[in-house]
């Protein structure tokens, strides 16, 4: 099995099996009221229903790579999603539709699709967590996002107490968002991805990736090359989980890239006039997406910037906040996040928003 769901092994780590820090990549989070492990879709639904019958709050947790859980933990039932597997459910022309169990480790799935010559997920290599969590924030990297290949999501609807199959158009996908994020109405049971049978990647859209591959933006490359290069680039930024590297004890990017109206972007340019043009990309409509990493760095929070209790900005990437001592509290991490958010706002007037889901804590 991949290391996606490995539990922390630091000596300073928690030993109580119900301590949620054991199940998060930040190694943070207090106790669960009750911890349940579900290994298939029926069991996931059953565990959720049983918790509801006990009138307990429910937290669905998979790889724990996009959550910040408070020091008080979660007083209700935490259902750990550990279902596995995928199968082809449709083949049409050169496309293949794969149904993936929610708990399937994401990078194992990407590896399997690359091996089989199914194109569409290769640039999402090396992202931790589960397949079932990818629709939650429309996981994306290096110019690809899952909204491009997801055709349906099977979920347990806790409002109507039924299992539903939702078409991609009903999932409300947006930049690092969907109708599932910040909602506990749906529990994802499986996800259908439509991929293309091809030995080549989709057109490479990300300039840094194209450079590393030695091709032009828009070119296609062998799937295995795309995967290996993405993983190498990510590893250099501490963005592939590594139990031995505290720079990866994070949730990846802590803040999303701010999306600004044109007017707000012009204000930013004025405030940053001494620093040159802020890195930015056109968004949908007349909006501009700016680099959160650049804002943070230029506001005085460089790589390695330390907060209390051994929390710090990763030494490899300005956007990742790490619990590098392995023994910090969520309060310490949140304090660092607040300091950065407030510092960026004071310097540039741009609000930063957290990318992970905050559970029983707030910044
Ligand atoms: C080193 C590192 C690098 C990362 N790089 C990227 C990146 O490049 N791009 C990117 O988009 N993300 C990135 N992430 C964030 C994270 O890996 C993804 O968001 C991932 O999809 C989270 O999966 P998970 O299984 O760990 O979710 P969890 O952290 O377990 O859960 C996240 C949220 O989804 C909910 N959830 C999980 N499973 C289900 C389910 N089956 N049904 C309903 N709700 C569910 C949880 O309740 C929670 O609200 C990175 C994280 C780390 C640590």
Averaged confidence pLDDT in the chain: 94
Confidence of residue 30 (pLDDT cuts 50, 70, 90): very high
C-beta 178 within 6 A of ligand 1: no
Catalytic residue among 130, 253, 314, 329: 253
Which one, of 195, 10, 221, 14, lies nearest residue 109 by Cα? Answer: 195
Determine what percent of the chain is predicted with pLDDT higher than 90.
Answer: 93
Q: Is 101 in the pocket of ligand 1 (CB under 6 A)?
A: no
Is the distance from the beta carbon of residue 67 to the nearest atom of ligand 1 less than 6 Å?
yes
- CA of residue 62 to ligand 1 center, whole Å: 8
| Largest Cα–Cα separation, the chain | 60
- Is the CB–ligand 1 distance for residue 140 below 6 Å? yes
Is 313 near ligand 1, meaning CB less than 6 Å away?
Answer: no
CA of 63 from ligand 1 middle (Å) equals 7
DSSP per-residue codes, 250-318? S-S-SBPPPEEEHHHHHHHHHHTGGG-SPPEEE-SSSEEEE-HHHHHHHTT--TT-B-GGGEEE-SS-T
What is the pTM assigned to this prediction?
Answer: 0.94
17 — pLDDT class (breaks 50, 70, 90): low
Nearest to 182 by CA among 362, 361, 355, 357: 357
Q: Which of 22, 68, 252 to mutate to test the pocket of ligand 1 (most atoms within 8 A of CB)?
A: 252
Q: How far is the CA of 271 from the centre of ligand 1 (A)?
A: 34
Question: What is the CB neighbour count within 10 angstroms for residue 165?
Answer: 12
d(CA 87, CA 64): 25
pLDDT at position 157: 98
Residue 118, judged by CB atoms within 10 A of its CB (0-12, 13-18, 19+), counts as: buried
Q: Which atom of ligand 1 is nearest to the CA of 25?
A: 53
Q: Report d(CA 230, CA 266) in Å as an integer.
A: 33
| Active-site residue identified among 104, 145, 154, 355 | 355
Residue 347: phi, psi to the nearest 5? -80, -40
- What does the pLDDT average to over 148-171? 98
55 is catalytic: no
Question: Quick one: pLDDT band at residue 282, thresholds 50, 70, 90?
Answer: confident
Catalytic residue (choose from 99, 176, 227, 341): 176
Atom 3 in ligand 1: which residue has the minimum CA distance?
Answer: 252
Instruction: Give nearest CA residue, ligand 1 atom 36.
Output: 133
Task: Point out the ligand 1 atom lying closest to the alpha carbon of residue 239.
Answer: 1
Residue 192 has pLDDT above 60, yes or no: yes
User: Rounded to whole angstroms, how far apart are CA atoms 132 and 146?
Assistant: 11
- Whether residue 220 contacts residue 201, with contact meaning beta carbons closer than 8 Å, is answered with yes
Task: Please list, in sequence order, all residues whose beta carbon lies within 8 angstroms of the beta carbon of residue 140, skipping any fewer than 6 positions away.
Answer: 124, 146, 175, 176
């Amino acid at each position: 099995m991949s290391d996606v769901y490995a539990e922390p092994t630091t000596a300073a780590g928690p030993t109580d099996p119900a301590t949620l820090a054991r199940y998060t990549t930040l190694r943070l989070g207090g106790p669960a009221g009750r911890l349940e492990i579900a290994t298939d879709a029926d069991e996931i639904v059953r565990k959720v229903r049983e918790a509801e019958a006990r009138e307990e709050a429910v937290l669905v947790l998979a790889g724990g790579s996009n959550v910040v859980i408070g020091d008080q933990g979660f007083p209700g039932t935490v259902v750990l999603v550990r279902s596995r597997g995928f199968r082809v459910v449709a083949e049409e022309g050169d496309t293949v539709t794969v149904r993936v169990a929610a708990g399937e480790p994401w990078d194992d799935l990407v590896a399997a699709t690359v091996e089989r010559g199914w194109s569409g997920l290769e640039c999402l290599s090396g992202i931790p967590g589960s397949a079932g969590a990818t629709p939650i924030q429309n996981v994306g990297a290096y110019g690809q996002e899952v909204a491009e290949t997801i055709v349906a999501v099977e979920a347990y609807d806790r409002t109507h107490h039924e299992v539903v199959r939702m078409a991609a158009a009903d999932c409300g996908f947006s930049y690092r968002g969907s109708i599932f994020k910040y909602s506990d109405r749906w529990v994802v049971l499986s996800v259908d991805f439509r991929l293309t049978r091809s030995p080549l990647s989709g057109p490479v859209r990300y300039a840094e990736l194209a450079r590393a591959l030695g091709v032009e933006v828009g070119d296609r490359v062998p799937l295995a090359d795309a995967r290996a290069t993405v993983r190498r680039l990510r590893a250099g930024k501490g963005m592939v989980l590594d139990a031995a590297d505290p720079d990866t004890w994070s949730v990846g990017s802590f803040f999303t890239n701010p999306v600004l109206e044109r007017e707000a972007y012009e204000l930013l340019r004025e405030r940053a006039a001494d620093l040159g043009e802020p890195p930015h990309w056109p968004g949908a409509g007349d909006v501009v997406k700016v680099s959160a990493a650049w804002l943070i760095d230029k506001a005085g929070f460089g790589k390695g910037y330390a907060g209390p209790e051994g929390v710090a900005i990763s030494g490899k990437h300005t956007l990742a906040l790490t619990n590098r001592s392995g023994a910090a509290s969520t309060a310490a991490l949140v304090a660092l996040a607040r300091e950065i958010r407030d510092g960026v706002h004071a310097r540039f007037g741009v609000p930063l928003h957290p990318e992970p889901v905050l559970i029983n804590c707030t910044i």
